[in-house]
A = this chain, B = another copy of it.
């Protein structure tokens, strides 16, 4: 029986991207029992690494055993009770996802929207907070569907002054941009594994502070079968057991109360990926992402393509580019993938079919990958009769950038 053998890809999307091979190596280690002291030691170290990654003192910094949206749902479902007002600023698809999660938790959604490609000024959000007076502000940091970086430096503080909880979906920017959680006064933040951290999808680091913890613990209910006489119960419990953050606190905290069977090798992968990222340094890693992002933009523009969206508020790991006239989105991408092993992404919503998203995330954000990409992408675009494409100019602009700028 042949064993699984995957063909190589150059994944230039906003994720999932290639895993760092050192992460894959770590994931091939043998299984430990979930209460084996060697494993709980790794759990504790992973929590400390998550704290460092978010520059936070938050005790409660641990991963959810699920993909990014499991992390977002865990946070939303734990803080939002039926009838709670939640303000959701929307600049693309992932804002809608958050409204969906709020509604499923029984919350009442209020929105403030900007068209795809734009962001919402923080002062407008603060004004809207005053108008709506929500319990929670839930906001996307890097809206990958449009490649925009929503400013959030001020709103955490503004929300805190107003007694509002700030929840930030930082799945796409995590470990690619600096997210100083405590400095920005964010109450709960969700990171992502399979993007700038370059760890396989399936585990999601989150962090939340004491204020947030106190609030969700009003809903705490320890499950039957392991509940003791000392455990209070409540009728307004969190409706998920798997994603109940208060039970996960008992599992990741000192009590080590049995919950799910921890996803051992995903933890190994997260642990190793975070060790590598923290060793590189959060700021250094952010600089590396910006650096290659600029290189990509120079190359793309010189190819003859037009960028999409507000250039003042770009995620530093996704270039959004208008699809040239005469090129079919899906067909082009399918052929680029099947013929050259290179993957780029389309998008969702209003801009679907109109833009491509080219990612330079984590392990992929490296000079040789970008040079290989710009050449093949440019030549193939030209061969498909896109107008005014100049592959040589694209490559030259990129090499010029690398020659003239150092990391």
A155 within 8 A of B: no
Whole-angstrom distance between the alpha carbons of A13 and B39 in the complex? 15
Each complex incorporates copies of this chain amounting to 2
Whole-angstrom distance between the alpha carbons of A70 and B225 in the complex? 17
A115 to chain B, nearest CB (A): 15
A93 within 8 A of B: yes
Is there contact, CB below 8 Å, between B69 and A241?
yes
Residues of B within 8 A of A13 (CB): 33
CB proximity to B under 8 Å, residues A218-248: 223-226, 237-243
Chain B residue at minimal CB-CB distance from A259: B69
Q: Interface size bucket, A side?
A: 35 or more
Whole-angstrom distance between the alpha carbons of A11 and B42 in the complex? 18
Residues of B within 8 A of A201 (CB): 65, 260-264
A369 within 8 A of B: no
Is there contact, CB below 8 Å, between A69 and B30?
no
Chain B residue at minimal CB-CB distance from A90: B225
Chain B residue at minimal CB-CB distance from A195: B261
A203 within 8 A of B: yes
Is there contact, CB below 8 Å, between A202 and B65?
yes
Is there contact, CB below 8 Å, between B264 and A200?
yes
Of the stretches A96-104, A314-322, A381-389, the one at the interface is A96-104
- Choose one: B17, B73, B101, B272; the contact of A3 (CB below 8 Å): B272
CB proximity to B under 8 Å, residues A265-289: 265-266, 268-269, 271-272, 275-276, 279
Residues of B within 8 A of A217 (CB): none
Dominant secondary structure at the A interface: loop
Is there contact, CB below 8 Å, between A343 and B202?
no
Is there contact, CB below 8 Å, between A8 and B30?
yes
A133 within 8 A of B: no
A113 to chain B, nearest CB (A): 12
Is there contact, CB below 8 Å, between A272 and B4?
yes
Is there contact, CB below 8 Å, between B202 and A263?
yes
Residues of B within 8 A of A137 (CB): none
Residues of B within 8 A of A7 (CB): 38
Whole-angstrom distance between the alpha carbons of A93 and B77 in the complex? 25
- Residue-wise, chain A 69-99 has the 8 Å CB interface mask toward B (1 for contact) of 1100100010000000000000001111101
A36 within 8 A of B: yes
A214 within 8 A of B: no
Is there contact, CB below 8 Å, between B9 and A33?
yes
Whole-angstrom distance between the alpha carbons of A66 and B238 in the complex? 18
Q: List 7 A-B contacts (CB under 8 A).
A: A3-B25, A9-B33, A25-B28, A66-B260, A67-B261, A73-B240, A194-B264
Besides the known contacts A3-B272, A4-B271, A202-B264, 7 further A-B residue pairs in the complex with CB atoms under 8 A apart: A13-B33, A16-B31, A16-B261, A66-B260, A201-B262, A240-B243, A265-B269
8 closest A-B pairs by beta carbon, nearest first, are A96-B225, A202-B263, A6-B29, A4-B26, A67-B260, A93-B225, A200-B265, A96-B224
